[in-house]
Chains A and B, each alone.
Chain A
Amino acid sequence: MATTATPAQAPSAPRPLTRAGRERPIGGFELWAWLFMRVSGLVLLFLAVGHVLIMHVVDEGVDRVDFAFVQLRWQSVFWRTWDWMMLTLALLHGINGLRNVVMDHVPRIGLRVALNLTFAVLGFALFVLGSVVVFTFDPNAWPPSA
């Protein structure tokens, strides 16, 4: 990552034994982003891995997922809450992950800003679209067992 406590050079240099662990941002926004990735990652390990196992692996997997399935599923506030939390955390986690990739691999500052801005705008647009769908979908607007 771009902002780290110690430079990445000199891999053979001995590290101080008193402070174990990996490099970490010194402070400010990057430290909060670093912490967010870990905390949201723990929550997503539950939400996203659970979602993937439920929707794609168990009980016929994606073969059973159709409109009627979503219609029934989103009768439940529990699943809507799950899906909206997952949407929000996964987009923030993923777009910030892309920002880290861009910072590591794109040396040109103009291209770097352009890419990060594109991802941020895209992420926000997807957050709005996904939120509208999760909150406004009306399971009763269509006849059941469609």
Chain B
Amino acid sequence: MARKRSDYGTLYRGREGQWAWLAHRVTGVAVILFLIAHVVDTAVVGWGPEAYDRVMAVYHNPIVRLLELGLVAAVLYHGLNGLRITIIDLWPATTRYWRALSYATVGLFVAAMVPITWIMGPGILRLL
């Protein structure tokens, strides 16, 4: 359906759902962009140890390692929020609990990211 120019670029004035939607979209695009690079970098394994280990050396960098933590967070958020969307869409009766489900999604995400950051953090700090 056609939309006017003025329909684009307006700030959403919604509540939790709008932020969940935005975060879902941003993390989704981030993950597919990484995946495009990742299929190619994994393909280098066919050229043997020297070539592949040279590719893997890019992870020996604190900024790349910080982005790696961001990737884990993006995959995890997108997966958990996608699960919430799927539950509500395939079982519409749960719509009445959408706000509780939204908070559960964010709660699970934060609860998982605390130990993950604790585990991955030293690997980033060691390279500084």
A interface with B by C-beta (< 8 Å) = 2, 7, 19-22, 24, 38, 41-42, 44-45, 48-49, 52-53, 56-58, 61-63, 65-68, 70-71, 87, 90-91, 94-95, 97-98, 101, 105, 107, 122, 126, 129-130, 132-133, 136-137, 141-142, 146
Q: Is the interface of A mostly helix, strand, loop or mixed?
A: helix
Residues A21 and B92 in contact in the complex (CB < 8 Å), given A66-B53, A98-B29: yes
Is B99 on the interface with A (CB-CB < 8 A)? no
Residues A45 and B49 in contact in the complex (CB < 8 Å), given A21-B95, A95-B32, A130-B43: no
B29 adjacent to A48 (CB under 8 Å): no
B75 adjacent to A130 (CB under 8 Å): no
In the assembled complex, how far is the CB of residue A92 from the closest CB belonging to chain B, in whole angstroms?
11
B35 adjacent to A129 (CB under 8 Å): no
Cα–Cα distance between A141 and B79 once the two chains are bound (Å): 37
**What residues of chain B lie closer than 8 Å to A20, measured between beta carbons?**
92-93, 95-96
A62 adjacent to B59 (CB under 8 Å): yes
In the assembled complex, how far is the CB of residue B71 from the closest CB belonging to chain A, in whole angstroms?
7
In the assembled complex, how far is the CB of residue B16 from the closest CB belonging to chain A, in whole angstroms?
14
Cross-chain contact of A129 among B5, B25, B40, B86 (Cβ < 8 A): B40
**What residues of chain B lie closer than 8 Å to A90, measured between beta carbons?**
32, 35
Residue among A24, A105, A107 with the most chain B CB within 10 A? A107
Residue among A45, A68, A122 with the most chain B CB within 10 A? A45
A107 adjacent to B42 (CB under 8 Å): no
B interface with A by C-beta (< 8 Å) = 1-3, 5, 8, 25, 28-29, 31-32, 35-36, 39-40, 42-43, 45-46, 48-49, 52-53, 56, 59, 65, 68, 71-72, 75-76, 79-80, 82-83, 85-86, 88-90, 92-93, 95-96, 116, 119-120, 123
**What residues of chain B lie closer than 8 Å to A132, measured between beta carbons?**
43, 46
**What residues of chain B lie closer than 8 Å to A24, measured between beta carbons?**
89
